[in-house]
C-alpha cells in the first residue's frame, strides 16, 4: 500500500533572535552578550564610561567635602558673625519691602540695584549704636538713598518726619520710648534669619 503525501512540510528552524542594547556612550545598538550588565559597545566606549564614572565619584567626594567644610564653618561661627549675617538678611528684606516706596528721608526715587543695595541702604532711624535693641525692629529701618544715609546727607528731623509719614506719630513715639533690652543668642539669630529668608521668598513672588 502506498502512502499519500499530505502536502505539509516540516517548519524550518528560525535563527535565534539577537537581543541588542544601546550603548550609553555612542548610542549605537550592540548585541547583548552573556554579560547582561554590560551597557557599552566596545573597549573605547568602555574606557570613556569608566573615566566618566571616575570623574563622577571625584565630584561626589568633593561635594561631600565642601558640605563638611560648610558645616564646620557654621559650627565655628561666633555670635558676632551670626549677627552680621542676620543684619544682611534683614536689610535685604527692608529694601524689598520698600521696593515701591521712595527714600524715607528726601522722598526721591533712584533706579536700579535695589536688591543689591547699590544705590539704596536700609537706614536705621534710631541708630544701632545708641539703640542696639531696635536694630531688627521693622518700625525703625527703611529703604534710604545712600546719599541720605551718609554723614551730612540728611538731618534727624527730616528722617523723623519721613518715619512719621510712613508709620504714624504714635508708632514713632512708642519706638522712641522703647527702652527694652535684647540679647539675641545664636539660636535666636538662626531662627530670625530663617524667618526673614522666608519673608524674602514671599516678597519675591
pLDDT tens readout for residues 79-108: 999 999 999 999 999 999 999 999 999 888
Q: How many Å apart are CA 190 and CA 159, to the nearest integer?
A: 31
Tracing cell 554579560 back to the chain, one arrives at 35
Do residues 107 and 66 both lie within one domain?
Answer: no
Q: Are 153 and 195 within one domain?
A: yes
Report yes or no on 166 lying in a domain: yes
Residues 152 and 58 in one domain: no
Residue 21 lies in a domain: no
Provide mean pLDDT across the span 167-196. 95
Q: Which cell goes with 105? A: 528721608
How many structural domains comprise the chain? 2
Judge if 84 and 33 occupy the same domain. no
What pLDDT is attached to residue 9?
A: 59
106, 155 contact by CB (below 8 A) = no
Query: Is residue 43 scored above 90 in pLDDT?
Result: no
Residues 150 and 173 in one domain: yes
CA-CA distance, 103 to 162, in Å (whole number)?
9
Q: Are 112 and 160 in contact (CB under 8 A)?
A: no
Is residue 96 in a domain? yes
Answer yes or no: do 61 and 83 share one domain: no
* % helix, strand, coil for the chain, step of 5: 45, 10, 45
Q: Residue 15: pLDDT above 70?
A: no
Are both 103 and 161 inside the same structural domain?
yes
Beta bridge mates, 195: none
Residue 196 CB partners (closer than 8 Å, separation 6+): 86, 89, 90, 92, 93
When pLDDT is averaged across residues 119-139 and rounded to a whole number, the result is 94
Please check whether residue 13 lies inside any domain of the structure.
no
CA-based nearest residue to 183, from 82, 74, 89, 75:
82
Is 8's pLDDT higher than 60? no
Q: Which one, of 151, 145, 152, lies nearest residue 105 by Cα?
A: 145
Average pLDDT estimate for 196-202: 96
Task: Clarify whether residues 181 and 146 are in a common domain.
Answer: yes
Looking at the domain assignment, is residue 5 inside a domain?
no
Q: Are residues 70 and 105 in the same domain?
A: no
pLDDT for position 115: 44
Instruction: Give the structural domain span for 126.
Output: 79-204
Distance CA 27, CA 196 (A): 49
Last residue of a domain, one of 59, 76, 93: 76
Query: Would residue 23 count as lying in a domain?
Result: no
What band does 114 get if pLDDT is binned at 50, 70 and 90?
A: very low
Burial of 90 (0-12, 13-18, 19+ CB in 10 A): buried
**Sorting pLDDT into bands at 50, 70 and 90, what band is 72?**
confident
Residue 117 pLDDT class (50, 70, 90 cuts): very low
Residue 10 lies in a domain: no
Q: Is 37 helix (H, G, I), strand (E, B) or coil?
A: coil
Amino acid at each position: 500500500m502506498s502512502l499519500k503525501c499530505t502536502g505539509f512540510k516540516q517548519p524550518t528552524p528560525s535563527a535565534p533572535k539577537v537581543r541588542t542594547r544601546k550603548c550609553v556612550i555612542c548610542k549605537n545598538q550592540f548585541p547583548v552578550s552573556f554579560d547582561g550588565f554590560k551597557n557599552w559597545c566596545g573597549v573605547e566606549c568602555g574606557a570613556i564610561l569608566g573615566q566618566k564614572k571616575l570623574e563622577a565619584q571625584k565630584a561626589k567626594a568633593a561635594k561631600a567635602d565642601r558640605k563638611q567644610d560648610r558645616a564646620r564653618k557654621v559650627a565655628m561661627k561666633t555670635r558676632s558673625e551670626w549677627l552680621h549675617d542676620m543684619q544682611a538678611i534683614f536689610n535685604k528684606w527692608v529694601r524689598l519691602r520698600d521696593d515701591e516706596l521712595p527714600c524715607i528721608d528726601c522722598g526721591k526715587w533712584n533706579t536700579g540695584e535695589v536688591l543689591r543695595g547699590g544705590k539704596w541702604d536700609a537706614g536705621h532711624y534710631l541708630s544701632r549704636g545708641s539703640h542696639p535693641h531696635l536694630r531688627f525692629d521693622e518700625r525703625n529701618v527703611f529703604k534710604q538713598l545712600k546719599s541720605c544715609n551718609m554723614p551730612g546727607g540728611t538731618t534727624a528731623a527730616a528722617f523723623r518726619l519721613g518715619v512719621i509719614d510712613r508709620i504714624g506719630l504714635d508708632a514713632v513715639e512708642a519706638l522712641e520710648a522703647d527702652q527694652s533690652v535684647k540679647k539675641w543668642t545664636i539660636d535666636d539669630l538662626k531662627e530670625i534669619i530663617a524667618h526673614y529668608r522666608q519673608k524674602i521668598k514671599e516678597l519675591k513672588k
